[in-house]
Amino acid sequence: MTEKNRHDTPMLDELENGPWPSFISGIKRLRDEHPTERINGVANDLLGQLEHSYETRKGYWKGGTVSVYGYGGGIIPRFSEVGQQFPESKEFHTLRVQPPAGNHYSTDILRQLADSWEKWGSGLVTFHGQTGNIMFIGASTENTQHFFDEINDYGFDLGGAGPCVRTAMSCVGGARCEQSCANEHKIHRTLVNNFTDDVHRPALPYKFKFKVSGCPNDCMNSIERADMAVIGTWRDDMKVDQDAWKAYVAEKGRQHTIDNIITRCPTRCMSLKDDDSLEVDNRNCVRCMHCLNVVPKALSPGDDKGVSILMGGKRTLKIGDLMGTVIVPFMKLDSEEDYERITEIAESTIDFWAENGLEHERCGEMIERIGIVNFLEGIGIDVDPHMIADPRQSSYVRMDGWDDEAVKWFERQAENRSAAG
C-alpha cells in the first residue's frame, strides 16, 4: 500500500495517544505491515469508513443474509452503506465461533486460528464478544465459507446469531477456583451441545442463552444475562477452618473482622466468639459468598454441592431489564441421570417457550406475560417458596381451588420426606 492511497484518519489517530493499547494502531499494522495485499486493502478501507463514522457520528453497516452451507445462522452479515468509497471492506462479516468451555487456549491453537484467519479474513479478532463467542471480524461473503470449512475441520463450530440458542458461557470454575461447586465445563457443554440444531438453524421466538457460574459470585453474570442460569451452590454447612480463621482475626484485628465480615452478612448469621472462633447459623446462610470471598483460606463451600437454576434474565429490549428468578432451588449434578434431568429441564423450557412465546419475545418476557405459575405448569415443575421474595400482596385473585393445592403441597412434603429416607 503506497502512502498516497492511505485514507487520512486524523480523528482515529487521536486514539493512538495514551498508555492503553490502541486498537487503531493494530488495524494500522494490518494496513502497513501485513504481507498480504488483500489485508492491507481491507484494513485501509475499514479505517477510512471508521474515520467517516467518527466525523459524521453515524454507523454505516447494514445487515443482510449470509450463512455457511448447511447452517442458517452464526454469521453477523455486514455490508457497507458507503462501499463505493471503501470498496475493499464493503463486505465485512463477523463469524461467531464457539470458544472451548472455560475460554482455555493453547498458544498452538491460537496460532492455528490466526493462520486460518489471515488466509481468509481481515486479521482482526476479539476474545470474546458479549455473548461469549470468538468474534472473527471481517470476512467477505465468499471467504466466510472457506474460513468456516477450515476451522470446522479442526474442531471449531459456529455459535448462534438470530432467534436461536446462543453460544453459552462458563467460568474458569473447577480449573482454578476454590469456590467452584459444580463441573461448569461439563454443564456448559452438556446443555449447549444438546441444542446444536437450535444453535445453527434459527427458528425460535428469539435468542436463548445458557450461562454457567460455579458459585453465587456469578462471574458469568448469568442471573442478569441468561435465559437459563445454572449456578453452583451447596446445601450443607459451609466449612470453617477455625485455626485459619483465628489466624486471620489475629492478623487483621477484631474490629476489622466485625466491620468487614460479621456485620456484612446479609442474614446476620455469623458471630465472633470471645475466643475469636467463628459461629455460623448455617440454617440462615443464603450462600451469598461474601465471607468466603474475604477469607478464602478459612471459609469454604460445604460438601453437598449442586446447582440452583434461575430463568428469564435478559437486557432492556423490549419490556425492560429482567433478572432470572429461581426455578430449581437446588439439584444435584453428580450422576449421568442428574445431567439427563437438567437437559430435560432445558428441553421442556425451550419447547414450551417455542410453542408459547411471541415473535421476538425472550423467555423471561413470556413468563412476565403469562405468569410464572403457568410457566411452571408448562414445564412440569412444582411451585416452591424458594421461588419468591414475598407471597402475594393483593387479595384480588380467585382461589376456589385452595384445598386441592394445599393437599398437593402436603403430598409433596411427604414424598420428599420418604425420598430422604
Comparing CB distances to another protein, the nearer of 33 and 340 is 33
Q: CA nearest 207: which of 361, 379, 330? A: 361
Nearer to another protein, 266 or 380 (CB): 266
Which of 82, 187, 192, 307 is close enough to bind another protein by CB under 8 A? 192
Query: Site residues for another protein, window 149-168 (CB under 8 A)?
Result: 149, 152-153, 155-158, 167-168
Taking CB under 8 A as the binding criterion, the range among 268-276, 284-292, 332-340, 375-383 that sits at the site for another protein is 284-292
As given in the structure block, the three cell numbers for residue 168 are 453459552
For another protein, the binding residue among 65, 84, 106, 416 (CB under 8 A) is 106
Residue 26: name the closest of 35, 17, 16 by CA.
16
DSSP state for residue 57 in the 8-state scheme = T
Q: Given candidates 90, 96, 185, 209, which one binds another protein under the rule CB under 8 A?
A: 185
Query: Binders of another protein: how many residues, by CB under 8 A?
Result: 131
CB 47 within 8 A of CB 12: yes
DSSP for 357-416 reads PPTT--HHHHHHHH-HHHHHHHHT----GGG-SS------S--TTHHHHHHHHHHHHHHH
Q: Provide, rounded to whole angstroms, the least separation between the CB of residue 157 and another protein.
A: 5
Helix (H, G, I), strand (E, B) or coil at 356: helix
Residue 293 binding another protein, by CB under 8 A: yes
Do residues 127 and 76 touch, judged by C-beta distance below 8 A? Answer: no
Write out the DSSP string of 271-336: EE-TTS-EEE-GGG-----HHHHH-TTTEE--SSEEEEEEE--B-STTT--B--EEEEEEE---SH
Residue 94 binding another protein, by CB under 8 A:
yes
Residue 167 beta carbon to another protein: minimum distance, rounded to whole angstroms: 7
Of residues 23-62, which lie at the interface with another protein (CB under 8 A)?
23-27, 29-30, 33-34, 46, 50, 53-54, 56-62
Fill in the per-residue mask, 215 to 234: x = in contact with another protein (CB under 8 A), - = not in contact.
Answer: -xxxxxxxxxx---------
Q: Which residue has the cell 443474509?
A: 65
- Contact between 1 and another protein (CB under 8 A)? no
CB of 215 to another protein, least distance (A): 9
Q: Is 209 near another protein (CB under 8 A)?
A: no
Q: Cα 55–61–64 angle (5° rounding)?
A: 170
102 lines the binding site for another protein (CB under 8 A) = yes
Give φ, ψ of 342 to 5 degrees: -70, -35
Q: Residue 216: CA atoms inside 13 Å, Cβ hemisphere, count?
A: 20
- Strand 169-170 with 210-213, pairing: parallel
Binding mask 333-362 for another protein (x = CB under 8 A): -------------------------xxx--
| Residue 267 touching another protein (CB under 8 A) | no
Helix (H) or strand (E) holding 82: none
Is 247 a binding residue for another protein by CB under 8 A? The answer is no
User: Per CB under 8 A, does 20 bind another protein?
Assistant: yes
C-beta atoms surrounding 24 within 10 Å: 18
Measured from the Cβ of residue 239, the count of other Cβ atoms closer than 10 Å reads: 14
Instruction: Note whether 371 binds another protein by CB under 8 A.
Output: no
Residue 403 Cβ vs another protein, minimum distance, rounded to whole Å: 33
Q: Does 19 bind another protein (CB under 8 A)?
A: yes
Selection from 179, 299, 302, 301 nearest residue 249 by Cα = 299
Binds another protein by CB under 8 A, chosen from 96, 189, 209, 362: 189
Q: How far is the CB of 193 from another protein (least distance, A)?
A: 4
By CB under 8 A, is residue 105 in contact with another protein?
Answer: yes
Q: How many residues does the chain have?
A: 421
Q: Is 124 in the site for another protein (CB under 8 A)?
A: yes
User: Whose Cβ is closer to another protein: residue 44's or residue 94's?
Assistant: 94
238 within 8 A of 282, measured Cβ to Cβ: yes
- The only residue of 12, 164, 327, 366 in contact with another protein, by rule CB under 8 A: 12
Residue 169 is a binding residue for another protein (CB under 8 A) = yes
Name which of 323 and 407 has its Cβ closer to another protein.
Answer: 323
Should residue 370 be labelled a site residue for another protein when binding is judged by CB under 8 A? no
130-149: contacts with another protein (CB under 8 A): 130, 132, 137-138, 148-149
Instruction: Name the E strands within 153-240.
Output: 169-170, 210-213, 228-234, 239-240
When the beta carbons of 137 and 345 are compared against another protein, the nearer one is 137
Task: Tell me if 254 contacts another protein by CB under 8 A.
Answer: no
Q: Is 403 in the site for another protein (CB under 8 A)?
A: no
